Structure 1
Amino acid sequence: MTGTNNENPGNFANRPKEEVQEIARKGGQASHSGGFASMDSDKQRDIASKGGQASGGSFEPGSERAREAGRKGGSATGSAE
């Protein structure tokens, strides 16, 4: 690698000058074409109208893990009363 002792490939100092210039030429353009922003507006509207219901979440509804997380979520940590 070049530039610094940091070998993180996301660090532009570690990339060849030509590669950095090519990235800079793209400006703010997305590096990939996936995701919500690339969907047509009707599909975006359909997903948005579900208001998060389309997400499966992390817990099985009514499970002990979900109840425990709910209890923990309501408790404050390190607060002075």
Structure 2
Amino acid sequence: MADHGNNNPGNFANRPKEEVQAIASKGGQASHSGGFASMDPDKQREIASKGGKASSGSFEPGSERAREAGRKGGSKSNTTGSSGDVEEDDEYVDE
């Protein structure tokens, strides 16, 4: 017989058989309704139409800062030298 002393709610082996059957009879249905799939089709379209659009970009397209960031992107995986000091060309500049 299963040990019902363990109260881990995710462990079906520790639950009474009747409770497990009641849960299984729901067929995996969520206890709540919601989410994207249950939204009105017009609301879904409105949200989906925003896909891929940045809400606020860090760079002005074509700006010098954007070009510099693109040039540096992925070029270095380690920004510190063997001494642990920040390399000269990697100084942080707050603009």
- Give the TM-score band, short-chain normalised: 0.5 to 0.7
Q: Using CA pairs under 8 Å that are at least 6 residues apart, name the structure with larger relative contact order, 1 or 2.
A: 1
Q: How does 1:31-70 map to 2 (within 5 A)?
A: 31-51=31-51, 53=53, 62=58
Aligned partner of 1:23 in structure 2 is 23
For the aligned residue pairs, the C-alpha RMSD in angstroms reads 3.6
**Closer, same or farther in 2 for the Cα pair 1:61/1:4, shift >3 Å?**
farther
Q: Which runs of 5+ in 1 are unaligned?
A: 63-72
Letter paired with 1:21? Q
Question: Which structure has the larger Rg?
Answer: 2
Q: Specify which structure has the higher proportion of helix.
A: 1
Letter paired with 2:3? G
Percent identical residues: 73
Structure 2 distance, partners of 1:34, 1:16, is: 30
Partner SS, residue 46 of structure 1: helix
- Provide the TM-score with structure 1 as the length reference: 0.52
Q: Which runs of 5+ in 2 are unaligned?
A: 59-72, 79-95
